[in-house]
């Protein structure tokens, strides 16, 4: 099992609380959602269109659209282009 | 009815080193400039840093001369009357025969906007190139660029133990950065040969400088017990639901696998990348002419010495004119800006000229180095033969090589036709990931000197929400 993936010495601001698939996840202001999800051990983010296989963060720069999640009810948002926000509700694997 | 547009003297698309350098010069000389960028804050991938900016961490944020210069550039923007729109996705560019044209896109608030200027600088940068292998779509297989941006932007490791594979300058750099940040990197696999790398040292001091950097990264990896091996390719990534193991194979100079050299290595995270691809889509959509040059990263936007594209008042700067790194991007940004300063007759041309003299001069050897690095980023051609039929080529539409191969075998090399026939390239990334893969496959199948032209993008060049259309501000007759 992996330990804490947050790099030591990296200054962080306030903690923020997310709900990912109904479960609480703590992240820090300024973090990108895809990184915060990986730090929480959530690698599988969407289901591929045809073969229905799990997909996760790949390009990390807004190109590949493999990290699409639902945020506060809005589907198809790139986690890698989104900053975490307190109270954010995230759902993975939604059509 | 048309979109209501805001007018500027200059619109710059992309706030990486090229765009920033251009914006600083033009805005500093009093031009009315709009700088549009997709990222959350200006700086592009090269100057990626946490938001909000807290203390930079020496172990993960580079502090070499070029990065320092970039950070100074960002600081200097604060004193300028420059309009920067971050989190803005440019969707299209309609050129104007008089010069420049209309740019439109989705802004931070999810609305569509349009802007017009007689001078437009395209500086969209680059993305990564990938060679697919079976299982490369598994969660846990991530790009080397993604790893670097996570480290620098969020201070988060992709895993406590990361395998790195690929060629070009990024994989080894990322491996070194991971180790510095506290991760373990047991293996770095490079499909190219070590002797090929050594050969670059003949190109003089600048190559030695880069080699010294590479050796430093390699030493970091090795000090922590990691191994760098050349002529090793990834055969397969396996796992149920996420990555569990990686299968590697030794290859010869031309990329042919050595039978019996397969190894299965347990892994939760594999970072991959094979050099860079210029982000030419917007320029291409606007109608700018392209040209092919493998030594500049493939299809690039054609520019003249003044960085004019084939369209009047539309300039290109940085990686979209050829993959060449930070220094050349900065230099081109300034040169494109200078061309506009002269045209706009800002009355301070002399000052701009003096300013230009203080720039890093475009060193010929810097260009040579870029060529060498691009050559090292091209994996041996035989690697494409390792791609089995059940490997996904287009990640968005789940199209496999097996679906594309019969068409290639029957002589269909045109990417648009491949796309129409198979749906490869029709998903939300709009062929940005599979396009270069299809190009390489078609080139290999046709045994051509150059690949077929890239997929022709149409506006909108990126997906956007239909809800953005609902509250458009328009002018003219509403019918």
B161 at interface of A, judged by CB pairs closer than 8 A = yes
Average pLDDT over residues B301-313: 95
B397 at interface of A, judged by CB pairs closer than 8 A = yes
Shortest distance between the Cα of A83 and any Cα of chain B, in A, equals: 8
How would you classify the pairing of strands B290-293 and B392-394? unpaired
Instruction: Give the pLDDT score at B479.
Output: 37
CB–CB contact A60 B181 (8 Å) = no
Q: What is the mean pLDDT of chain B?
A: 91
Confidence of residue B360 (pLDDT cuts 50, 70, 90): very low
A87 at interface of B, judged by CB pairs closer than 8 A = no
Average pLDDT over residues B290-307: 94
What proportion of chain B, given as a percentage, has pLDDT over 90? Answer: 73
pTM above 0.90, yes or no: yes
CB-CB contact of B223 with B215 (8 Å): no
CB–CB contact A5 B156 (8 Å) = yes
Residues of A in contact with B180 (CB under 8 A): none
Exposed/middle/buried for B140, CB within 10 Å: 0-12, 13-18, 19+?
Answer: buried
**pLDDT higher for B62 or B76?**
B76
All residues at 6 or more sequence positions from B389 whose CB lies less than 8 Å from its CB, including other chains:
B400, B401, B402, B405
CB-nearest to B140 from A6, A43, A60 is A43
Q: Which of B98-112, B117-131, B457-471 has the lowest mean pLDDT?
A: B457-471
ipTM: 0.97
Q: Count CA within 13 A, CB hemisphere, residue B448.
A: 18
Residue B469: phi, psi to the nearest 5? -80, -20
Alpha helices in B345-393 (DSSP H): 349-357, 364-376
Q: Which of residues 11-70 of A touch B (CB under 8 A)?
A: 11-13, 29-32, 34-36, 38-39, 43-45, 48-51, 53-66, 68
Confidence of residue B372 (pLDDT cuts 50, 70, 90): confident
CB-nearest to A54 from B57, B60, B139 is B139
CB–CB contact A57 B153 (8 Å) = no
For the stretch B378-389, pLDDT in tens is 888 888 888 999
> Residue B364: pLDDT above 90?
no
For the stretch B52-71, pLDDT in tens is 666 677 777 888 888 999 99
CB–CB contact B151 A7 (8 Å) = yes
All residues at 6 or more sequence positions from B123 whose CB lies less than 8 Å from its CB, including other chains:
B12, B13, B14, B15, B16, B18, B19, B22, B316, B317, B318, B320, B329, B333, B336
Residues of B in contact with A70 (CB under 8 A): none
Place of tokens 């290639």: B408
Q: Which of B15-29, B123-137, B243-257, B324-338 has the lowest mean pLDDT?
A: B324-338
What is the count of residue pairs from A and B with beta carbons less than 8 Å apart? Answer: 147
Q: Which of B423, B427, B386 is nearest to B407 (CA)?
A: B423
> Residue B51: pLDDT above 80?
no
How far does Cα B188 stand from its chain's mean position?
Answer: 22
Residues of A in contact with B59 (CB under 8 A): 7, 9
Residues of B in contact with A78 (CB under 8 A): none
For the stretch B100-109, pLDDT in tens is 999 999 999 9
Residues of B in contact with A31 (CB under 8 A): 154-156
How would you classify the pairing of strands B83-85 and B33-36? parallel
Confidence of residue B478 (pLDDT cuts 50, 70, 90): very low
Average pLDDT over residues B349-367: 59
Q: Which of B133-147, B223-237, B356-370 has the lowest mean pLDDT?
A: B356-370
For the stretch A35-88, pLDDT in tens is 999 999 999 999 999 999 999 999 999 999 999 999 999 999 999 999 999 999
Determine the residue of chain B that is closest to A30 in CA distance.
Answer: B51
CB–CB contact B427 A49 (8 Å) = yes
Tokens of B419: 């796309």
CB-CB contact of B180 with A31 (8 Å): no
Question: Which one of B146, B266, B282 would you mutate to disrupt binding with A, by most A Cβ within 10 Å of its Cβ?
Answer: B146
CB atoms within 10 A of CB B471: 9
Question: Which one of B90, B110, B150, B179 would you mutate to disrupt binding with A, by most A Cβ within 10 Å of its Cβ?
Answer: B150
B154 at interface of A, judged by CB pairs closer than 8 A = yes
DSSP annotation of A58 reads -
Instruction: Give the pLDDT score at B53.
Output: 62
B373 Rama sector, left if φ>0, alpha if ψ -120 to 50, beta otherwise: alpha
Residue B84 CA: distances (Å) to CA of A78, B13, B39, B279, B476: 22, 10, 11, 21, 28
CB-nearest to A7 from B138, B182, B392 is B182
Residues B141, A84: Cα–Cα separation, whole Å: 23
Exposed/middle/buried for B184, CB within 10 Å: 0-12, 13-18, 19+?
Answer: middle
Shortest distance between the Cα of A80 and any Cα of chain B, in A, equals: 9
Q: How many helices (H) and strands (E) does chain B have?
A: 13, 25
Q: Which of B50, B44, B49, B104 is nearest to B325 (CA)?
A: B44
Instruction: Give the pLDDT score at B466.
Output: 83
Confidence of residue B342 (pLDDT cuts 50, 70, 90): confident
CB–CB contact B154 A55 (8 Å) = no
DSSP annotation of B310 reads S
> Residue B145: pLDDT above 50?
yes
Residues of A in contact with B463 (CB under 8 A): 65, 76
Question: Which one of B14, B51, B139 would you mutate to disrupt binding with A, by most A Cβ within 10 Å of its Cβ?
Answer: B139
CB–CB contact B60 A56 (8 Å) = no
For the stretch B238-252, pLDDT in tens is 999 999 999 999 999
CB-nearest to B156 from A35, A45, A61 is A35
CB-nearest to B60 from A7, A54, A81 is A7
């Amino acid at each position: 099992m992996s330990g804490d993936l947050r790099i030591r010495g990296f200054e962080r601001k306030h903690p923020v609380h997310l709900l990912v698939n109904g479960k609480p996840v703590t992240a820090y202001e300024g973090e990108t959602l895809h990184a915060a999800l990986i730090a929480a051990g959530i690698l599988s983010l969407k289901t591929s269109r045809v073969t229905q296989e799990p997909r996760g963060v790949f390009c990390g720069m807004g190109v590949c659209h493999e990290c699409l999640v639902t945020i506060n009810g809005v589907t198809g948002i790139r986690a890698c282009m989104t900053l975490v926000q307190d109270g954010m509700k995230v759902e993975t694997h939604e059509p | 009815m048309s979109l209501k547009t805001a007018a500027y003297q200059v619109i710059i698309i992309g706030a990486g080193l090229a765009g920033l350098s251009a914006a600083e010069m033009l805005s500093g000389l009093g031009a009315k400039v709009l700088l549009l960028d997709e990222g959350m804050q200006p700086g592009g991938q090269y100057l990626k840093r946490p938001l909000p900016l807290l203390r930079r961490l020496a172990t993960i944020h580079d502090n070499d001369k070029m990065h320092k210069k970039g950070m100074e550039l960002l600081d200097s923007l604060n004193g300028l009357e420059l309009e920067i729109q971050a989190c803005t996705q440019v969707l299209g560019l309609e050129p104007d025969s008089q010069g420049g044209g209309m740019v439109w896109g989705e802004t931070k608030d999810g609305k569509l906007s349009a802007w017009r200027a007689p001078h437009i600088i395209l500086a969209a940068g680059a993305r990564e190139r990938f060679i697919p292998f079976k299982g490369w779509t598994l969660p846990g297989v991530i790009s080397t660029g993604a790893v670097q941006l996570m480290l620098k932007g969020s201070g988060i490791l992709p895993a406590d133990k990361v395998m790195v594979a690929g060629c070009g300058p990024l994989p080894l750099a990322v491996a070194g950065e991971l180790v510095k940040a506290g991760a373990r990197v047991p293996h770095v696999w490079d499909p190219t040969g070590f002797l090929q790398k050594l050969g670059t040292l003949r190109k003089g001091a600048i190559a030695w400088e880069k080699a010294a950097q590479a050796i430093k990264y390699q030493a970091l990896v090795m000090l922590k017990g990691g191994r760098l091996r050349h002529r090793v390719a990834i055969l397969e990534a396996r796992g149920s639901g996420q990555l569990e193991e990686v299968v590697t194979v030794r290859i010869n100079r031309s990329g042919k696998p050595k039978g019996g050299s397969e190894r299965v290595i347990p892994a939760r995270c594999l970072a991959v990348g094979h050099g860079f691809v210029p982000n030419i889509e917007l320029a291409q959509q606007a109608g700018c002419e392209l040209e092919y040059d493998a030594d500049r990263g493939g299809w690039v936007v054609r520019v003249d010495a003044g960085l004019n594209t084939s369209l009047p008042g539309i300039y290109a700067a940085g990686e979209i004119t050829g993959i060449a790194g930070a220094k050349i991007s900065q230099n081109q940004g300034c040169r494109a800006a200078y061309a506009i300063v002269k045209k706009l007759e800002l009355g301070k041309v002399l000052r701009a000229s003096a300013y230009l003299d203080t720039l890093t001069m475009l060193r010929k050897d810097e260009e040579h180095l870029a060529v060498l690095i691009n050559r090292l980023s091209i994996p041996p051609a035989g690697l494409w033969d390792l791609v089995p039929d059940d490997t996904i080529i287009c990640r968005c539409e789940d199209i496999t090589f097996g679906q594309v191969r019969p068409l290639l075998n029957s002589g269909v090399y045109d990417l648009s036709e491949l796309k129409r026939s198979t749906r490869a390239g029709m998903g939300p990334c709009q062929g940005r990931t599979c396009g270069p893969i299809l190009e390489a496959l078609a080139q290999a199948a046709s045994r051509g000197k150059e690949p077929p032209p890239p997929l022709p993008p149409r506006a909108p060049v990126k997906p956007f929400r239909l809800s953005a259309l609902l509250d458009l501000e328009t002018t003219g007759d509403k019918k």
